[in-house]
Structure formats: C-alpha cells, structure tokens
Structure 1
Amino acid sequence: MLTDAAPMYRVLYLLFIMLLASPAWSGAWLRGKDSAFSAASVTVFKEPDQGYDYASALYAEWGAQDNLTIGFDFEENRDLYGHATVFARIPVADLQQKGRFAAEFGVGVHHRYRGAWALYKATLSYGKGYSTGWGNGWVALDASLEYRTHDALYRKLDLTTGLNSARLINPLLQVETAYRSGSSLFWRVRPSAMIRWQDSPTTWVLGLERKDARNDTGIKLAIWSEF
C-alpha cells in the first residue's frame, strides 16, 4: 500500500517514458508478417487511508509469419502477485463474414510474494467484425484453460468489443472472468474510451474498472501502438 501519491506518480512517469511508443489484443486475428503491436497500462484504486493500490501490465506481439504470431504478456499487482507468459497464436478457421477462430498456447511463470511457479495456458479465440450506424466494430471471445502449478486450474472467458471508426473517440468494453473449483467467480469489467488521432499509430485508452475483489471503482490508463 502506498502512503502518498508520489510513488504512484513515479510509476506513471516510468510507464510513459518506457512505453510511449507503445492499441487492442488481437484475439482471433493474427498480426501480418513483420508487423507488431504493444499495449501498456496502469490501473489505480484509491485506498481508504489516502494511499493507492495499483496494477501495471505490458503486452506485445509480433507477426513472425502470416500464420504465426508470437508475443509476451505481463501483469503485476504492486509487488504482491502477478504473471509473465510468452505465447504463440495460429489460425484455426476463417468463416469469412461469420467470423474466425484462432488458437493460442502459452507458457510462463506466476508469483505470489517471493514464491514463483510455472503456468501453462491454452486459448481458443473467436472474432467477428460488424457494422452499426455509428461505424464499424469488432467483438472477440477468448476461452482459456490456465494451469498454475502450486495453485489451481483456472477456466477463463473474456469478452472485448468496440468501434473503430474514424472518429477521435470510440467506445470499448472489456469483461474478464475466471473460475477455479471451490472459489467464487473472479471478474473485471472495464468500459473505456479509445482516443486516436487520424493516421496516428498510437491510441490512448481511458476507462473505469470494477472487479470482484473491491467495492470501489478504479481508473485505467493504457497506451496502444502498432508498428
């Protein structure tokens, strides 16, 4: 728990300096050969004693081939717990206007305090574009099995949907859920605004976050970039 705002400002500053060249997770879509994408974020919750609780995340992926995307996913909740994984994504089926499927396989490490253990993850993703009166959009569903050694098998289902019109600001909604036997459902909901100037490779995302572990609302700031 941070005792004042200064450490939080340092975290934000460091993220901006390191990741300013750093838009959404691809899900069922693969990166084109030699193209890349990165996303960096920080989420802040206000603590009752005037301190702050925060989590940071970094995601990056690269198109090694047209049919192979490789990447890295990192998340840290203060220095208490987090994970880091490397992954590979391959196409499964392209149903044209009905959508597409892809599979992703990852291996990495998760930690809690000073203890660290291996994790393994398999994901089946479905994605589809759509059109509305407010512009074109997309929806993605990711169903995962994540085995954390020395912990449990997690069953995850995530939803991402948003618009990608030429407007300066577009809406985005992300819902993440996870379940393990003997526990309640873990969930996070993030409604956000994506801010992108025309022809810019960088998108700023500002949103709110609610989750099962807290009864208040946090603020999330992310930077997405394509290369």
Structure 2
Amino acid sequence: MLRGFILIWLLVLGPTAARAGAWMRDQGSGFAAASATLRHSFGAWSSELGFYGDFGLSAGLTLGIDLNDTDNLSGHALVFARIPLELLPSGHHLATELALGGAHSQNRWRPMQRLTLSYGRGFDSAWGPGWLAVDGAYEMRGTSPDPILKLDATIGLTEQRRLRPMLQIETAKISGQRLFYSITPSLQIPLPQQVQLLIGLEHRVAPQRSLGLKVGVWHRF
C-alpha cells in the first residue's frame, strides 16, 4: 500500500520543468534547464532529476524536450511542439502545446500524451515588474482510460532585480483520487553568461506530505 502511494505521487506530480508556458521562444534562440530535488517523505529520502529544453524554430513554432526520472521508480521522456493562439488583446499571451513520448513506472514504459493550454502576461507591482503564467494540462498514460488533469500557476518578478522571487503552485487530479498539490517558493539568482541559479523549497501533498529542496540551473542561448 505504501509503495503504491509513492508511485501515484511520483507519477502525478513529477518534477516540473522550467516551462515557457504561453511565451514563444524567439526564432533561433533556445532555453535549457536542469534540476535536482532532494525530498524527504515516509521517513526516507528520494531524489528527482529533470531536464527541459526548447528552441524557437520560427515565430509560430517552438520545439522541445521534457525529461525526468525519480530514483528509477517513475519518469517520462517527451518531445513537444508549441504554437501561439492569437485570441487575446496585446499584452496577454495564449499558446497550446502537444507533447508525445513515454512514461515509465519501475522501468516499465508506456505511451504518454499531454495537451496543454497556457496563459501568460506581465504586470507591474510595488516590488517592480513581474509575470504570471497559468498552465492547464490533459495527460494520458498507457492504456488507462482515466486522464490526469493538471492546473499550475507561477508568479515571479522579472530580471530587473538581483534576487528574483518566484512562487509556483501545482495541482493534479485523477478520477477516484483526492486532489494532489505542491507549493514551491524559490529564488532565481542571475549568474554570468545568461545563466540563472534556482533554489527552492517544496511542500507537497500527494497524497502524503513531503518536503523537498530543489536546485536548478537555467540557461538562455
């Protein structure tokens, strides 16, 4: 039973990539992010590794990959394509993304598909300019008839600050299961040559509580 809870938790709320969401990558430019999360739950430690990369093939098409693995218990490997949806006024961004690949549970691989609708916008605040991103996803894994529904929100301050706070809230729901969620406040620290260091603390309930330390490196090129 305990191991089953762990597998559900890892499959539904795996490490989240540093997604661009509704923002398209400029033609000829790219972004790469690698992250590691050390988590304590059920009296034991586990580690999660993630990699995300995308590249602007044109003004209307961004391609990328999304990889993760958690102690060989679960993970996925996806390729995706993102296109903009020109449906909102200037200053508001809307995009859709289709990802195809595979997901594994204890190294048993099955097909995985994910369709995402993303919204984003910039804003001004008392602490300076910032940005907001909201992503809704519909995931199918293997032959299961039950989709995984996800709704994530991220808010942060822009590059005009030395330390850039960011807050991410992730939720996931499977039919017959309770709502899973995680809350991750973090800091982005700019380094030379378009590199950023990300350090965050994650509180997760999926279905049991856990705490994690997340460290990531982002690079724009």
Bin of the TM-score, shorter chain as denominator length: 0.7 to 0.9
Q: 122, 129, 152: which is aligned to 1:129?
A: 122
Query: What amino acid is aligned across from residue 136 of structure 1 in structure 2?
Result: P
Q: 23, 30, 46: which is aligned to 1:53?
A: 46
Q: Residue in 1 aligned with 2:23? A: 29
Mapped pair 1:88 → 2:81: yes
Q: Residue in 2 aligned with 1:3? A: none
Q: Residue in 2 aligned with 1:7? A: none
TM-score, structure 2 length as denominator?
Answer: 0.86
Q: 37, 41, 46: which is aligned to 2:35?
A: 41
Question: Secondary structure of the residue that 1:168 maps to in structure 2?
Answer: coil
Query: What amino acid is aligned across from residue 213 of structure 2 in structure 1?
Result: I
Q: Is the 8 A contact 1:59 1:74 kept in 2?
A: yes
Question: Secondary structure of the residue that 2:24 maps to in structure 1?
Answer: coil
Q: 40, 65, 69: which is aligned to 1:76?
A: 69
TM-score, structure 1 length as denominator?
Answer: 0.84
Q: Identity of aligned pairs, percent? A: 36
CA deviation digits over 1:189-211, x for unaligned, max 9? Answer: 110011114x6401101000111
Q: How big is the shift at 1:24?
A: 4.3
Query: What amino acid is aligned across from residue 136 of structure 2 in structure 1?
Result: A
Q: Is the 8 A contact 1:135 1:165 kept in 2?
A: no
Q: Residue in 2 aligned with 1:103? A: 96
Q: Structure 1 segments of 4 or more deviating over 2 A?
A: 46-49, 213-216
Q: How big is the shift at 1:48?
A: 7.1
RMSD: 1.7
Mean Cα deviation higher: 206-215 or 82-91: 206-215
- CA spacing shift, 1:216–1:118, aligned 2, 3 Å: closer
Question: Secondary structure of the residue that 1:189 maps to in structure 2?
Answer: strand
- CA spacing shift, 1:110–1:134, aligned 2, 3 Å: same
Q: Residue in 2 aligned with 1:225? A: 219
Aligned residues: 202
Q: How big is the shift at 1:47?
A: 6.0
Specify every segment of 5 or more residues in structure 1 that has no aligned partner in the other structure, as ranges. 1-22
